[in-house]
Amino acid sequence: MPAMQESAENRNALIWAKEYFERQHLSKEKIREYLFAQGFTEDETACAMENLPDNFKDNALYQAQWCVEEYLCSKKLLHERLVTKYLFTKEEADYALANLNADFKEIALRLAVKMSNQRYTYFSKYSLHEMLTGKNGYRFTEEESRYVLDHIPIDYKQQALALAAACASEPFCKTKEEIYSYLTSEKERYQFTENEAEYAISHLEEALAERKKKRAEELFLQECKKFAPDESAYAMENLDSAAEDFGLERSECEDAEEQGNILGKPDDYARTFFGDFLEETEHNNTAPGDMEQESIEKNNGDPSDTEQTSMDNWDNVAEYSEDGLDFPEPDFCDPGMIPDPHTCLSYVNEYEDWAARARACGQHDLAEQYEEAAAHWRYLYEEAEDEEMEW
């Protein structure tokens, strides 16, 4: 009986080993690691490995092709990933890179475009080059980086302006002189040109006004999503008069309503809400962090009470959680190099806000994901702060 039991375990180990080899394309060491994790003994694992093909080069090539498309890796990072994460041998990783079908210039360009489209991410020509080639970046070659800089559709003046607006807003509140120094200093990560920085400073007031308007629109839509669909018809019938009183564009509301975003309340409520809301956004700079700061002030300076205040603001959501807010996916991706502190802290504020809304809807698992995302970006913020001090 013991011999039969051992034979059965050997067969099971071999079944799993073949699964890992043929369908998941793992390395020899990774398969061995997984078998041990499943509780197979040293002898059972060794017996299974002896019955596998001894050529893992094709698996390394498969993983390399997948990684370069999924993660947009440079050749150096890809080789490192194959050896350290997937546990292929150096020879197998060399074979994979030699036979890989990939244009790393285009890979670098796709990565740069993807990064430039992320929220709270800003690039100067210098910082983009550093992200692509630096030792803490993606480690593309100088030639690949030059190709990106020649082909990427980025307006660096607008990038400088967007970063300046973020610096001038809560919670940073930098002066124009501080912003100009931050944009151009050789000790900082961006090093915009003087022309780009001067453009940003000269257009800063317009950018802040636009930023305030966009934030107001976001908050308006968030509030509208709190109400039930069957209340929408009455509100839309009476929206013209409310919009006229408070300077809202009906076309914007109708576009949102067609997507299921506008969920209204009776006209007298709409007038009251819109009036209070616009008065509040006119008084405050509603950049990321403003609502949190205002909540702290309302609770006599006690930050510990801000979560309850946020929860109170979202009590109505719970009843309509299935048809209400569209919660975004939490972003845990590591951009390869540590982002700037503004980017990290903006994500922290955003995910803490979404966590409060999710809890108000009764979606506690999702709230925990947002809290984990906020903690992730807070860690990156602290790392970014340390790195800037070193620079």
For the whole model, what pTM was predicted? 0.59
CA quadruple 81, 82, 87, 89: dihedral sign:
negative
CA distance linking residue 373 with residue 314, whole number of Å: 20
Nearest to 328 by CA among 289, 380, 370: 370
Structural domain that includes position 93: 2-98
Rounded average pLDDT over 135-163: 94
Q: Residue 228 pLDDT more than 60?
A: no
CA distance linking residue 68 with residue 64, whole number of Å: 6
Q: Based on the domain organization, do 89 and 73 belong to the same domain?
A: yes
% helix, strand, coil for the chain, step of 5: 70, 0, 30
Q: Based on the domain organization, do 47 and 137 belong to the same domain?
A: no
Q: Based on the domain organization, do 179 and 116 belong to the same domain?
A: yes
Q: Based on the domain organization, do 109 and 92 belong to the same domain?
A: no
Residue 181 vs residue 295, higher pLDDT: 181
Q: Based on the domain organization, do 229 and 242 belong to the same domain?
A: yes
Q: Based on the domain organization, do 306 and 391 belong to the same domain?
A: yes
**Boundary of a domain, candidates 287, 309, 333:** 287
Task: Return the pLDDT at 237.
Answer: 59
For the chain, how many residues are written?
391
**Boundary of a domain, candidates 188, 204, 220:** 204
CA distance linking residue 314 with residue 304, whole number of Å: 18
Other beta carbons within 10 Å of 313:
17
Q: Residue 208 pLDDT more than 70?
A: yes
Structure tokens at 93: 């990783």
**Boundary of a domain, candidates 154, 172, 204:** 204
Mean pLDDT check: name the lowest of 157-166, 178-187, 328-337: 328-337
Q: Based on the domain organization, do 223 and 271 belong to the same domain?
A: yes
191, 192, 193, 196 alpha-carbon torsion, rounded to 10°: -160
Q: Residue 343 pLDDT more than 80?
A: no
Average per-residue pLDDT in the chain? 76
Number of domains in the chain: 4
Q: Based on the domain organization, do 77 and 146 belong to the same domain?
A: no
Nearest to 335 by CA among 82, 132, 172, 80: 132
Q: Based on the domain organization, do 24 and 72 belong to the same domain?
A: yes
